[in-house]
Amino acid sequence: MSEEAPHLITEDVDGILVATLNRPDKLNAITGEMMGLFEQALHRFRDTPELKVMLIRATGRYFSAGADMKSGNATDQKRSGSGIRETHRLGLHGMHRIYDEMEHIEKPIVVAHHATCVGGGLEMSLSCDFRLAAKSASYSFPEGLFGVLPASNGVSRLTRICGAHWARYLIMGNMKASADKALYMGLVHEVYPDESFEDDVMGFCRHLAKQNAEQMGTAKLAIELASEVGRDQGRQVERLANSALMLNPAYLEGIAKYVQGIGGKKD
């Protein structure tokens, strides 16, 4: 650990694991220490039944300025095409491995952008299930300024979420997007007023924490699978997923009570 404050701090609030990027003086630029602490928190979230939702947020005037280019690892790449590709896959503080795990965990992960979110910070956010923005947030991929691509979710995940149309806008066009523009693009789910942002975000997370955990996890898998296949196979995914959920004793008990309640009502 460095002598400065931890690059990431965590706390548990009402079944929500809150992970806060904590390098405000460095605009929350991503370091190996930050990613190591984040992976530990992610695994604790995955392995702790009492934790229902993970919330990623940040302190300071940026959500994140992306990778810390001065920390060493970000620029230590072999000078060959295959070497650079392997560095992306296996290096970069384990980003690819961690982002894959975020997408595979059968619990909801929420990210809250209170301010500017660019580069690697945005790439991390693309692996979250829900992206919430404050009115003053903004988004961009500055990699184009250096003649390269955002290659740790910036192309692959962004295109899945927003489509090629908006991926071209952010990556090829090297354009910035306001929070309202990001909502229009489908990059974020909600834009909240700056003044009530923290309360609105926690309200959203508490709502998620009340949802049925089995349904939530199955839905996460089913949605990802359905996005990869054609319509007919997508319907097979729906049927397969629901056949498991509808055999769940909790569902059978709940639907029986619901039907009895309706039947017992009088006009």
What is the pLDDT at residue 154?
83
**Residue located via tokens 């990869």:** 228
More confident residue, 188 or 151: 188
pLDDT band at 166 (very low <50, low <70, confident <90, very high): very high
What is the pLDDT at residue 90?
60
Pairwise CA distance, residues 181 & 163, whole Å: 14
What is the pLDDT at residue 248?
87
Least confident of 12-21, 36-45, 69-78, 189-198: 69-78
Pairwise CA distance, residues 244 & 266, whole Å: 34
Q: Are strands 190-192 and 53-58 parallel, antiparallel or unpaired?
A: unpaired
DSSP 1-60: --SSS-SEEEEEETTEEEEEE--GGGTT-B-HHHHHHHHHHHHHHHH-TT--EEEEEE-S
Cβ–Cβ under 8 Å, residues 21 and 29: no
Closest CA to 26 of 88, 85, 71: 71
Res. 39: pLDDT tops 50: yes
Q: How many C-beta atoms lie closer than 10 Å to residue 264's C-beta?
A: 7
**Residue located via tokens 């190591």:** 36
What is the pLDDT at residue 1?
44
Q: How many C-beta atoms lie closer than 10 Å to residue 128's C-beta?
A: 19
pLDDT band at 143 (very low <50, low <70, confident <90, very high): confident
pTM comes to: 0.89
DSSP 140-164: E-GGGGGT---TTTTTHHHHHHHHH
More confident residue, 144 or 29: 29
Beta strands in 53-208 (DSSP E): 53-58, 62-64, 109-113, 116-118, 130-134, 138-140, 177-178, 190-192
Burial class of residue 166 (count of CB atoms within 10 Å of its CB; 0-12, 13-18, 19+):
buried
- Averaged pLDDT for residues 5-28: 96
The DSSP code for 64 is E
What is the pLDDT at residue 92?
63
More confident residue, 160 or 95: 160
pLDDT band at 91 (very low <50, low <70, confident <90, very high): low
What is the pLDDT at residue 179?
98
* Tens digits of residue pLDDT in 54-64: 999 999 999 99
* Tens digits of residue pLDDT in 198-255: 999 999 999 999 999 999 999 999 999 998 888 899 899 999 999 989 988 888 888 8
What is the pLDDT at residue 250?
83
What is the pLDDT at residue 88?
65
What is the pLDDT at residue 148?
83
pLDDT band at 72 (very low <50, low <70, confident <90, very high): low
Q: What is the dihedral of CA 134, 138, 143, 144, to 10 degrees?
A: 150
pLDDT band at 2 (very low <50, low <70, confident <90, very high): very low
Cβ–Cβ under 8 Å, residues 222 and 237: yes
Q: What is the mean pLDDT of the chain?
A: 90
